[in-house]
Amino acid sequence: MRLVLLGPPGAGKGTQAVHIARAYAVPRVATGDIFRDNVSGQTSLGAEAKVYMERGDLVPDDIVIRMVTDRLERDDAVNGFLLDGFPRTVPQAVALEEYLDSVGRPLDVVVRFNVPESDIVRRIVNRRVCPVDNSVYNLDYAPPKVDEVCDLCATPLQHRQDDTEEVVLRRLEEYHAKTEDLEYFYWERGLLRDVESVGPVEEVTRRTLAVLDDLDGDPVQAPS
């Protein structure tokens, strides 16, 4: 399975990616996580990306494209992968398509997670993440069992620096301006499938796996 998860900030891509990657035994390649690891590791890539991430802007295409194609060269991605947060612009999508065509491994599907815009800010400002295993919590909808501590590894949870109302509104602007065009890009190629990302997390996972199990099913309508 070679798939891309698409959707605005807070749509639940990271939350669902963990379950889908496990179900299909493919690696999850999350560009946001790779950048955050580089920021905390104080690498030159991290220093470069941090400036953009703090503002809620996209990191320049050339940096991201190189990083992802290098990652997809690794052995664990040969039999499939899940891309979470990439591509995010048409040039990124074109570069990905060219790369995958060149190695004879085209995408199977692009899942678009839909969530009402009115839910997004609340989901984001109440998000907490584990810096060790990247598991995602929400103080409103999915709190950890022990206050501010990861259920899986007991590490203190973190509040992402870009999870403020001001920055998430900027990230949403970037989504509308640069990423939404990908809906048409992938619809035209017959790859786009829709999942409503509201309700219990397990229910959204069930819906997503049902869509992935039936890729010959009804295609979505043309994006407006």
Please give the Cα distance from 104 to 91 (Å, whole number): 20
The nearer residue to ligand AP5, 67 or 222, going by C-beta atoms, is 67
Query: Of 2, 4, 12, 192, which lies in the binding site for ligand AP5, with binding defined by CB under 6 A?
Result: 12
Positive or negative, the CA dihedral 18, 24, 27, 32 is negative
Q: Which token pair is 101?
A: 């065509």
AA identity, residue 100: L
Q: How many residues sit in the footprint of ligand AP5 (CB under 6 A)?
A: 37
Please give the Cα distance from 131 to 69 (Å, whole number): 24
Does position 86 bind ligand AP5 by CB under 6 A? yes
From 49-57, 74-82, 98-106, 182-190, span contacting ligand AP5 (CB under 6 A): 49-57
Length of the chain: 224
Query: Of 197, 207, 208, 212, which lies in the binding site for ligand AP5, with binding defined by CB under 6 A?
Result: 197
The nearer residue to ligand AP5, 104 or 203, going by C-beta atoms, is 203
Does position 52 bind ligand AP5 by CB under 6 A? yes
What is the distance of C-alpha 154 from the center of its chain?
A: 24
Does position 121 bind ligand AP5 by CB under 6 A? no
Sheet holding 192-196, edge to edge: 28-30, 81-84, 2-6, 109-114, 192-196
Does position 85 bind ligand AP5 by CB under 6 A? yes
Q: Which token pair is 42?
A: 């104080």
Query: Of 204, 205, 208, 212, which lies in the binding site for ligand AP5, with binding defined by CB under 6 A?
Result: 204
Q: How far does the chain reach from its first CA to its final CA, in angstroms?
A: 28
From 3-11, 37-45, 74-82, 149-157, span contacting ligand AP5 (CB under 6 A): 3-11
AA identity, residue 45: L
65 to 13, 89, 141: CA distances (angstroms): 19, 10, 34
CB of 216 to ligand AP5, least distance (A): 26
Residues making contact with ligand AP5 (CB under 6 A): 7, 9-15, 31-32, 35, 52-53, 56-59, 64, 85-86, 88, 92, 123-124, 127, 136-138, 141-142, 162, 171, 197-199, 201, 204
